[in-house]
Amino acid sequence: MENFVEMRCIRNEFPGVIANDDVDFSLQRGEIRALVGENGAGKTTLMRTLYGMQHPTKGEILVEGTKLTIRSPREAISAGFGMIHQHFMLIPTLDAVENIILGVAPTKRLLFTDIRAAETRVRELMDRFHLQVPFGVKVQDLTVGDLQRVEILKALYRDVELLILDEPTAILTPQETEGLFNMMREFAASGKTIVFISHKLREVKAVAQSVTVMRKGRVVGNEKAGNVTEHDIARMMVGREVLFEVEKAKANPGEIILHVHSLRALNARGLPALRGVDFTVHSDEIVGIAGVEGNGQSELAECIAGMWPATDGEIKFLGNNIRRSSLASRRNRGIAYIPEDRLKTGLCEDMTLWENLIVDDYGDSRFAFWKGLLLKHRAIEEFSERLILDYSIMAPGAGANIGTLSGGNQQKTVLAREMSRGPRLLVVSQPTRGVDMGAIEFIHRKLVALRDAGCAILMVSADLQEVINLADRILVLYDGEIVGEIEGNGKVDEKRIGCLMAGLRPEESICE
């Protein structure tokens, strides 16, 4: 059978990096192909090349046997390709239909937009692919699930034959994810083709017909999805065996370390982000916060860490209300914080690895990094080398610029700095965002070890499976409120959590 799309000997070179190393990649009509690999494996670069966003150093692209030069996304769209990126590319002040038809709006006399014709076409697509979104509502007021559907409808409106989805389930509830998969199956059944980039191997197995695995810029496997297990795929991705289950003993919670009472806060737009939140975290336990992003998780973590102001309520740490305490005071008391954006608030990109490891501890007497007015470089070197070894940070040395390290090694650097302080409370937000499978496994082990050493851990994660695997208790946050608490034993009811994340009661029919 002739291939629908062929990419031959694609090579993408950047200064000091070969992102794609003579890659061959082909697709047939009507298939759902998963494209997987660790961070930096080259999968997104390869698809950006197909979509005209990246010009290859060498190689060629054929569509149904004919060589095609794609110099821009506009040319890719003309060829029948669509790509849904991890970060939505929509105009917030326009409504769903206006975003969907942008650039290809039907016109009537005097070149006015024929909005009625556009709405009719959009409704047909919504009904055909079960992608319902509200009309007349500005995109900025839609849920993330609605935004995902608008992006897909935007591609379908352009009659794409190939749809590329880059990590499409990262911010969806389980119900929204299943709805997306149903759309993908319907799309493929109509003879269209999908490339599904994902690091969630359970989802890959659930929806893909075939799997392409990349490692270090090369394709290391092309398999039928039914012929390989999640462990097989992970082994190809990482080059070794990977543990999927987090090995941890049952929690034995001790004293209350953190007590949050009636906590309220506003978001950056001045709207309520937290609406009277109450919960506790004990020593020797991990409490996970589940919820669709944008429901107050970021503000909650930053309020506790001291990086965002609360407008009312109490944050009691070891019995003392620290709501008005400074960030430095909280850190000195024993609170550590791993932020969701490591480069924006967790690291100084222009500093070295060792400087980032001790940046908060220059004046801490426990570390003795000073002698008079001079830094004790030998003590700093020994401290840094120990953390680099203990946290498996892959770097040329402690003097390496932090900006040159991979995302996983940058995240390990933040973990090493925060955990080495011996905190009584660790607030960790998105602990494994943007890191590869090997680093995820390592970070999970470190969090469990810290829990077992007596630390209280509050973990916010958009990855529901991560919350289920790690948390001893799960709190679901919706629209700034705790709407449910579930015991976390690794085998919780995902459908129930998904309903709570969507603001539904578990007994409602959609949740049955």
Per-residue model confidence as pLDDT tens digits over 410-438 = 899 999 999 998 999 999 999 987 677 77
- Alpha helices of 170-326 — where are they, by DSSP H? 174-189, 201-207, 230-238, 297-305
Residues 6+ apart with CB under 8 A from 374: none
- Collapsed DSSP state (helix, strand, coil) of residue 470: helix
**Where do we find the tokens 């990094």?**
369
Question: What count of other Cβ atoms lies within 10 Å of the Cβ of residue 156?
Answer: 23
Contact 351, 417 (CB under 8 A): no
- Is the model's pLDDT at 365 over the cut of 70? no
81-84 sheet: strands from edge to edge: 81-84, 162-166, 193-197, 32-37, 210-215, 218-224
Q: Please give the sequence-ordered ranges of beta strands (E in DSSP) within 344-472, or none if there are none.
A: 370-371, 374-375, 425-429, 456-460
- pLDDT band of 364, cuts 50, 70, 90: low
Please give the residue that has the higher pLDDT: either 439 or 188. Answer: 188
For residue 354, the Cα-to-chain-centroid distance in whole angstroms is 27
- Alpha helices of 264-406 — where are they, by DSSP H? 297-305, 327-333, 353-358, 377-390
128: left (phi over 0), alpha (psi -120 to 50) or beta: alpha
- Pair of tokens at residue 179: 């709805």
Q: Which helix (H) or strand (E) holds 370?
A: strand 370-371
CATH number corresponding to 256-351+422-511: 3.40.50.300
- Pair of tokens at residue 420: 């080495």
Question: What pLDDT digit, counting tens, does each position of 83-107 carry?
Answer: 988 667 889 999 999 999 888 777 7
Residue spans per domain, the chain = 5-238, 256-351+422-511
256-351+422-511 and 5-238 share a CATH fold? yes
Question: What pLDDT digit, counting tens, does each position of 385-417 carry?
Answer: 999 999 989 888 889 999 888 777 889 999 999
Contact 262, 233 (CB under 8 A): no
- pLDDT band of 366, cuts 50, 70, 90: low
Q: Which helix (H) or strand (E) holds 62?
A: strand 58-63
Superfamily of domain 5-238: P-loop containing nucleotide triphosphate hydrolases (3.40.50.300)
Question: What pLDDT digit, counting tens, does each position of 39-65 carry?
Answer: 778 898 999 999 999 999 999 999 999
Please compute the mean of the pLDDT values over residues 473-487 and round it to a whole number. 94
- Collapsed DSSP state (helix, strand, coil) of residue 346: helix
**Where do we find the tokens 């500093």?**
351
What mean pLDDT value characterizes the chain?
Answer: 89
pLDDT of 511 reads: 60
